[in-house]
Each structure stands twice: as structure tokens, then as C-alpha cells.
Amino acid sequence: MDNKSKKILGTFISMIGTIQAAVGGTPQFPLDEEQRYQFEIIGNTLQAVGSSLSAEGQGSNFMGAVGEQIQAIGNSTVLVGLLIYKRKNSDIEERVVISGNWLQALGSFVGLDYTGNENISVLESNLGGILQGIGNSLQAIGGIETLRPNLIPFKGVGTLGSWIQATGSVISFLVEISDE
């Protein structure tokens, strides 16, 4: 598989994963606790696999590859936190998930194109990455709110972050297929 195909497939898998995790993390959807858990596990697994595949498809774009790898590590960290949750150690679980979300945000920002190239596809790609980074940051802040209630006045910040991240991943996928 060539690098472009790896990037397209990786961003597609990541997009499906971010949407699935966002659905699982949205309290307004009629899912029971186990269904939410499964959506989040599968969604974060897909994101980790997609980011890993995208990293491999970056070719000579070193910072893009590093950013994707950091995101994959972040998703893997979230998975560890979710698996700890199954053992009902919610404080540790939440801290690990928060760390994973911060890592994903870091990876999103590291992977941006800082070359000064101002063509539309680079700008759109950066927009997708920025939205993903903002979304992950809001998810981490939502986790902090879970640990420290009443710290943040807006209670849906984590859910909002999930959907902002999903929007960014859709934009990133659309940019990849439009470059083809």
C-alpha cells in the first residue's frame, strides 16, 4: 500500500473512531452504560489504529508522522484508562483518560503544517488538526470537571469536545480524499 493510501485509510478509520467515541460519550443518546463503554472502547481503538496507519503514510513529513504517533499513544492511553474503569477505580481511570486526551491534543498540534505553505488544502488540513486538538483539550477539561465538580460552570464541555474533535477528523478525511 502506498503512503497516500495509508493516509486516506488511516484518516477514514480515525474519523469513524472519533464519531463512534463521540456517540458513546454523549448522554443524550439512549445508550446504557455498557453500550457507552463499548462505543468508547471501539472508537478509541479505531482512532489509535487510524493514527498509526496515518503516521506510516506520512512519508517524508517528519512532524506529521510524530504528531500522528503521539495521537496514537494518546488513544492507547485513553484505552488503558477505560480498561481500568472496568475495575471500578474511577479516580485513576479518569486521570489516565485525561492524560490520553492531552496527548491526543498535543499530537494534533505537533502534526500541523508549519511550513508557511498557504494553499487551500494545507489550510483545510490545519483547520481539521486544530479542531481535533481543541476537541481533545475540551475532553481533558471535561475529565477534570469529573474529578473536581463545580470547577467548570459548563457541564457538557467533554461532550462538546468529543464532537469538535469528530468534526475536525471529518475535515481531515475530506482533505485527504480531495487531494487524491
Helix axes 157-178, 3-24, angle to 10 degrees: 160
Domain count of the fold of the chain: 1
Distance of CA 174 to the CA centre of its chain: 16
Structural domain range at position 76: 3-178
pLDDT tens digits for 34-61? Answer: 899 999 999 999 999 999 999 888 888 8
Mean pLDDT, the chain, as a whole number?
90
Cα 21 to Cα 24, 45, 58, 163, distances in angstroms:
5, 9, 25, 9
pLDDT for the residue 87: 61
pLDDT tens digits for 89-121? Answer: 678 888 999 999 999 999 999 999 888 777 888
Q: Which percentage of the chain shows pLDDT scores above 70?
A: 98
3-state SS class at 30: coil
